[in-house]
Structure 1
């Protein structure tokens, strides 16, 4: 689902105060701290776990626009840098859930290519075969400690990877899963992986 071309930023404490306000009935008055007029529709928004970066991706043409939160709060509305996805839109953008590895963002484009953005080095992680860690990816989820991630594949199988793209385990599709369906990950908790499947025709 695409978002509008205008982005509002506010800290969560101010949002909680607005909700708890006795004024406004079911509709609460709210003024954002910052408004960004981007001139483009945005399909993905994510903050790094250490709250240092906000990352946006355009609905058309993809790419990542990386903003430094501190600079935004000081009035700058220009991104610190950008990363290209070669004109391909982004299906999923997931920040590493830990502050220790906050620079890693998993990116899945609409062609099913999984890439790993490193905001510290300001580039996608590259291997010998290029920056694509895995093809035919339908979804992805970080482990709760952010050390590894699991990618759901178009054939219903899953693969466990490090942020650098090294495969650690593979989980075949259930034998009863029809070939026209594929795996969707909704979360990973410690050693448990919750996998949902859906019909690709109706997805």
Structure 2
């Protein structure tokens, strides 16, 4: 995670700073994943990650930085196990986003995030398998393209890691992966 954060910070140095949005509501769908997996008791299974994300950006803390608070509904489908069992997570997350100008109507950002997966459930439900809430970490590179003065399209590349804690006899698991996403936003 430290290496990812350092790489994103170095990448951020390559762009011209721009004023961070101060009141933006957006919706993104994480539709493709790569290099994603779940690790339980030393065994690794490949997963496909999908997620629906609602984000509100506010609180500019520097000229080019703001806070983005998100709710994510994420599904990690285990693709190489019979029946493709899924782990479903409800996550709240805060990101510190640094903004840079790319083109006249296009800005991009880089942001580390931390959150909490307050509901992590296997589907189909497996008797005796329960998870407690879990810490969520991510790093994201995104782009916003203003089509109109206040409305636009967004895209993202996200690396995330969930440290899932088992409850009772359920073993701990790690869910991690890289997702691509797209969405829309409105800048109030």
Q: TM-score range by the shorter chain?
A: under 0.3
TM-score by length of 1: 0.24
Q: TM-score when scaled to structure 2?
A: 0.25
Higher RCO, 1 or 2 (CA under 8 Å, sep at least 6)? 2
Greater fraction of residues in strand? 2
Larger Rg: 1
